[in-house]
Chains A and B, each alone.
Chain A
Amino acid sequence: MSDVKPFLLEIGVEEIPHWMIVPALGELERLFRDLCTANQLETGNVAMDGTARRLVIRCAALTTRQADRDELVMGPPKSAGPGAAMGFAKKNGVTADDLATEVTPRGEYYALRRAIAGRETSDILAEALPALIAKIPWPKAMYWTGKGETTFIRPIRWIVALLGDSIVDFTLAAVKSGALSRGHRRMGSDEIAFDHANYEDRLEKNGVILSAAKRRKRIQDGIKKLLKGTGLTLIPDEALLTDLVYLTEFPTPILGSFDEKFLALPQEVLSMVMRHHQRYFTVQDSAGNMAPRFVAIMNIKADKKGYVVKGNERVLEARFNDARFFWDQDQHKKLADRVDDLAAVTFQAKLGSYFEKRLGVEAGATRIARELGLDEAAIRRAAMLCKTDLMTEMVKEFTDLQGIMGGLYAKAQGEPEIVWRAMYDHYKPLSMDGPIPATVEGRVLSMADKFDSLEGCFALGMIPTGSKDPLGLRRAAQGIVKILVEGRIRLNLDKFITAGAEETSRIFLCERKAGYVENRGSDGSLELAKQLRDFMTERVKYYFRDVRGFAYDEISAVLAANPPDLVDVEARLRALKMVRQTEDFLPLAASFKRIGNILKQAGRPGGAVSESLLEPGAEKDLYQDMTRVLARVQQLRQSDDYIQALLAVSTLRPAVDNFFDSVLVNAPDAAVRQNRLALLGQLFSEVSSIADFSEIVTSSTSE
């Protein structure tokens, strides 16, 4: 048993941006564990903690010294003779007498065994830690002690490195490791002596709650206490809570108020100001209306004199006044009068202005509206106005309100509900977890906007590669897929993409858009359409696999059947996923794979089945079962009932098994053989039009 001691490393830094702390701790832990593994050091339990001012590693029981070990260095084969042995010995600083012989499957070899003394852990750490700390990757680091020196996110101001009671001695960026920690900037000492057992307590007495979980709980409990008996509830905001946990070392919530007159402003604007500019939580009354109150989180223990509440209230009022100024100012010019102004705002350097973009959105939205039988005029109006809010002061100030403000201004300016709601929602979904637009018109507009970006960028060769996707085209395509499926929009994607690509090509040629070259394949189809289709197909697969959790083979099987739209794809996937659990399905799928191979070998013969050529017994039984089942399947598919359809197909298993057990497809008589192939061919093509079963991984194919 080797000796173990607790180890602690505290890197004291000027305030690290809150969002970088958790990833940095993860990297630090990985680097540290790798170091220990590479040096055969056991760590015991490793705990990682971080606040804005410190990154901490604590090991419960770190080996204090590496174990001694034997090293075996293999030399030349014995057959090489004593000369080779001497050379090998000399190279290793020993004489030939020190060499041993090792027997290996390839023969006898000279070898050198030597004892390596284990090193002291404190030496290993002292040597490795400076480089290890410097290796933590940061999104934007600087050098602090001179050009070419160590870069770090902010200046390192102190380092504690203790193995047991001894300091692990090293220097990094002009900071020497020591034994003293520091407390909260204003509530703690700058020289805190501690031992491993009382570290957290000592920090807490100096105004630092080390554990993020404890800080989170202190915020949550504090808010509960503040709101108790007020009839108000907090609108939960996990992301904001996490930000505040890492912005503070000793968080304490306070409850502030603002003048009710500001509630006349849209709630979206008020929340945005509170959330993004001030990091306040929003509070609502029992009826779910926003209350004229807010919760702010301080980085001190208490606001005894109420100065902090008062200060925050004053700041918020000034911010709300600004917002009201923007709101009033923006009303002076209607959105409809701002359409021409869009020419002055660049959408993308090569693609042009938002004025051009909105034309593309309008064309796409109109096409979808026509396809789906929606109110074309309303959707065209929404498309025309949807980008005009970029010209408003409010959106210039609060860019995250784009779309939302357009909707709100359109509403205030008397646009019909169908129009303003579509505008309001047209950037949604903002993420794969976020909601899609609430109305079908909003969905159409959102898709048209995204398609327009895709078409334009792809046409000019701006296609995402690897992890590079500066224009967010993957996310746009993903959004389209999500809207189509979850919005249950029955749009034929292929057809739409082809039409969109043709339109884009026509316009770009007409405008002589710089950088656009029309490429068509030998069949006359646009290369652009193919690229877009491939890109979308990838996104469709990603969505169903990673977002919805369907298996890869299920997706391949369904897509191979070429369903008309993504709503249909989803229905088939659900059915396939469910039916594959039933006992007959996988064996049947295996048989289909076999049928597929037989047909392929036979050169995919066509032809109708001639009943008179069927042999009584298994062959005739299969034919009759098949005819009955396929008729039923046809009927079920009329109502998109894929579950029942697949279950019906599954009932064919005994007949199929029986057929293969007792019937030889490759019959000597050519007519009989052709007839049997026709029988299998009919079965295969009918069933494959739901999902290509031969794509399904069965146990026999995975072996």
Chain B
Amino acid sequence: MDSYQETIFKLKRFWAKHGCVIQEPYDIEVGAGTMCPETFLRVLGPKPYSVAYVQPSRRPADGRYGENPNRLYKHSQLQVILKPAPANVMDLYLESLEAVGIRLDQHDLKFEEDNWESPTLGAWGIGWQVMLDGLEVTQFTYFQQCGGVDLDLVPAELTYGLERLVAFLQDRKSVYDIEWVAGTSYRDVRFRDEQQFSVYNFEKADVKMLWQLFDLHEKEAQRLIDEYRSLDPEKEGTEKRRWPLLSAYDHVLNCSHSFNLLDARGAISVTERVGVIARVRKLAVGVATSWVDQQALLNAPEVAA
């Protein structure tokens, strides 16, 4: 039986063998691996790119104080982007399951329709949830649009739910009983994390401050987007090429996380919700379209360099 970390090593090695850049997790809170710039921005534009990384994904509303065996405030995803999706992407995926020790001839695998749409990211795609003996172990999605931009190359995104997958492999009923490494359980490593963040997210987070944070990050992201747009590509081309859109995107991620915290705190009414999502979306779309523009500038032959 492989430990939690050994399974992660194996998956990373598998995808490294198939040409993926192995990245480390992004260092700003995100709700899903899709939101990391390595996915959200890299899928834009005509450049092929393949990457795999583990992304701890924070969903404050899913916290259960460490008391529910299957629900976590922060779970880990192994995120794989293959851009463009190779014709044998499904076979590769099945091989990756075999690489972590799943004998496919002894298990039942079904691909059930599960389309993906992220209103906050202006993104959608179609795909499946992959059911292994009735357990959803992976989200398999082909992207069509990101940040409101139609994609040049259709990427495949594979998102493995690591805790679930390993609980399956180790035959554990609770994710807390997973063996992280010999002698140390998932509980040993993560229980306090789940408990304390549930307390914070549901009970202690300062709503007023979160709204302030949301507004501040929104303002900064919007400022950077607006200034980028106002730069003249002819006269200010150099400045435009080095403009910090990645920093703008970090502020968008911060906005999004503040939104999730406010949501978990029950501070956003149903009517407000739509409006706040639209605000985040506007920023995400703003960064995405600017990013595409900037990439085109960078790829264009330098004029009399």
Interface residues of A (CB under 8 A from B): 14-15, 17-19, 52, 140, 142-147, 153-155, 157, 185-187, 247-248, 278, 296, 298-300, 303-305, 307-308, 310-312, 314-318, 321-322, 325, 344-346, 349
The residue among B134, B151, B168 with the most chain A CB atoms within 10 A of its own CB is B134
Q: Tell whether A308 pairs with B152 under 8 Å between CB atoms, given A299-B110, A318-B70.
A: no
- 3 A-B pairs with the lowest CB-CB distances in the bound complex, closest first: A311-B133, A17-B113, A15-B111
CA distance A204 to B161 in the complex (A): 34
19 contacts between A and B (CB under 8 A): A17-B113, A142-B126, A146-B153, A153-B126, A154-B126, A155-B87, A186-B94, A299-B108, A300-B107, A307-B107, A312-B133, A312-B134, A314-B168, A314-B171, A315-B134, A317-B173, A318-B70, A321-B70, A344-B270
Q: Tell whether A299 pairs with B109 under 8 Å between CB atoms, given A142-B154, A154-B126.
A: yes
CA distance A154 to B113 in the complex (A): 10
Select one of A248, A278, A305, A318 contacting B173, CB under 8 A.
Answer: A318
CA distance A220 to B69 in the complex (A): 35
In the complex formed, the residue of A with least CB distance to B87 is: A157
Q: Does B247 contact A (CB under 8 A)?
A: no
The residue among B125, B133, B153, B173 with the most chain A CB atoms within 10 A of its own CB is B133
In the complex formed, the residue of A with least CB distance to B151 is: A147
In the complex formed, the residue of A with least CB distance to B68 is: A325
Q: Does B128 contact A (CB under 8 A)?
A: yes
* Chain A hits for B270, CB < 8 A: 344-346
Q: Does B181 contact A (CB under 8 A)?
A: no
CA distance A140 to B114 in the complex (A): 12
Q: Does B289 contact A (CB under 8 A)?
A: no
Size of interface on B: residues with Cβ below 8 Å to A: 39
* Chain A hits for B126, CB < 8 A: 140, 142, 153-154
Task: Indicate with 1 or 0, residue by residue over B104-120, a CB within 8 angstroms of chain A CB atoms.
Answer: 11111111110100000
CA distance A140 to B126 in the complex (A): 8
Nearest-CB distance from A253 to chain B (Å)? 11
Contact A248 B144 (CB under 8 A): no
Contact B111 A278 (CB under 8 A): no
Select one of B71, B90, B154, B269 contacting A185, CB under 8 A.
Answer: B90
CA distance A305 to B105 in the complex (A): 10
Q: Tell whether A247 pairs with B112 under 8 Å between CB atoms, given A142-B126, A311-B168.
A: yes
CA distance A314 to B153 in the complex (A): 39
Q: Does B230 contact A (CB under 8 A)?
A: no
In the complex formed, the residue of B with least CB distance to A321 is: B69
Q: Does B299 contact A (CB under 8 A)?
A: no
A sample of 6 more A-B contacts (CB under 8 A), given A15-B111, A146-B152, A186-B105, is A145-B154, A185-B109, A299-B110, A303-B106, A314-B173, A316-B134
Contact A140 B152 (CB under 8 A): no
The residue among B94, B106, B271 with the most chain A CB atoms within 10 A of its own CB is B106
Contact A308 B111 (CB under 8 A): no
Q: Does B1 contact A (CB under 8 A)?
A: no
Contact B132 A311 (CB under 8 A): yes
The residue among A248, A298, A304, A310 with the most chain B CB atoms within 10 A of its own CB is A298
CA distance A315 to B90 in the complex (A): 24
Q: Does B160 contact A (CB under 8 A)?
A: no
Q: Tell whether A305 pairs with B106 under 8 Å between CB atoms, given A18-B113, A311-B135, A321-B69.
A: yes
Contact B104 A296 (CB under 8 A): no
Q: Tell whether A14 pairs with B269 under 8 Å between CB atoms, given A146-B152, A299-B109, A308-B108.
A: no
Select one of B104, B125, B132, B271 contacting A142, CB under 8 A.
Answer: B125
CA distance A144 to B154 in the complex (A): 6
* Chain B hits for A146, CB < 8 A: 152-153
Contact B104 A186 (CB under 8 A): yes
CA distance A308 to B106 in the complex (A): 7
* Chain A hits for B85, CB < 8 A: 155
Contact A346 B271 (CB under 8 A): yes
Select one of B90, B113, B133 contacting A307, CB under 8 A.
Answer: B133
Interface residues of B (CB under 8 A from A): 68-71, 85, 87, 90, 94, 104-113, 115, 125-126, 128, 132-135, 142, 144, 150-154, 168, 171, 173, 269-271
CA distance A316 to B134 in the complex (A): 8
Nearest-CB distance from A229 to chain B (Å)? 25
Select one of A315, A318, A349 contacting B133, CB under 8 A.
Answer: A315
Contact B111 A186 (CB under 8 A): no
Contact B152 A247 (CB under 8 A): no
Select one of B69, B94, B107, B142 contacting A311, CB under 8 A.
Answer: B107
* Chain B hits for A144, CB < 8 A: 142, 154
Contact B90 A14 (CB under 8 A): yes
CA distance A155 to B144 in the complex (A): 13
* Chain A hits for B87, CB < 8 A: 155, 157
CA distance A157 to B104 in the complex (A): 21
* Chain A hits for B68, CB < 8 A: 321-322, 325
* Chain A hits for B128, CB < 8 A: 15
Contact B106 A248 (CB under 8 A): no
The residue among B110, B142, B270 with the most chain A CB atoms within 10 A of its own CB is B110
Contact B69 A318 (CB under 8 A): yes
Contact B90 A322 (CB under 8 A): no
Nearest-CB distance from A240 to chain B (Å)? 13
CA distance A185 to B92 in the complex (A): 12
Contact A147 B150 (CB under 8 A): yes
Contact B105 A52 (CB under 8 A): no
CA distance A308 to B107 in the complex (A): 6
Contact B133 A140 (CB under 8 A): no
Contact B94 A185 (CB under 8 A): yes
In the complex formed, the residue of B with least CB distance to A311 is: B133
Contact A298 B108 (CB under 8 A): yes
In the complex formed, the residue of B with least CB distance to A174 is: B87
In the complex formed, the residue of B with least CB distance to A316 is: B134
The residue among A52, A142, A310 with the most chain B CB atoms within 10 A of its own CB is A142
In the complex formed, the residue of B with least CB distance to A244 is: B110
Nearest-CB distance from A329 to chain B (Å)? 10
CA distance A187 to B133 in the complex (A): 16
Contact A296 B154 (CB under 8 A): no
In the complex formed, the residue of B with least CB distance to A142 is: B144
* Chain A hits for B150, CB < 8 A: 147
Contact A147 B152 (CB under 8 A): yes
In the complex formed, the residue of A with least CB distance to B71 is: A322
* Chain B hits for A154, CB < 8 A: 126
Nearest-CB distance from B161 to chain A (Å)? 13
* Chain A hits for B110, CB < 8 A: 247-248, 299
The residue among A145, A146, A153 with the most chain B CB atoms within 10 A of its own CB is A146
CA distance A300 to B132 in the complex (A): 12
* Chain B hits for A317, CB < 8 A: 173
CA distance A318 to B175 in the complex (A): 11
Q: Tell whether A143 pairs with B173 under 8 Å between CB atoms, given A15-B111, A311-B168, A321-B69.
A: no
Nearest-CB distance from B206 to chain A (Å)? 21
Nearest-CB distance from B152 to chain A (Å)? 7
In the complex formed, the residue of B with least CB distance to A278 is: B134
CA distance A640 to B71 in the complex (A): 62
Q: Tell whether A155 pairs with B142 under 8 Å between CB atoms, given A14-B90, A300-B108, A307-B106.
A: yes
* Chain A hits for B173, CB < 8 A: 314, 317-318
Q: Tell whether A303 pairs with B111 under 8 Å between CB atoms, given A14-B90, A311-B168.
A: no
Nearest-CB distance from B241 to chain A (Å)? 25
Contact B70 A304 (CB under 8 A): no
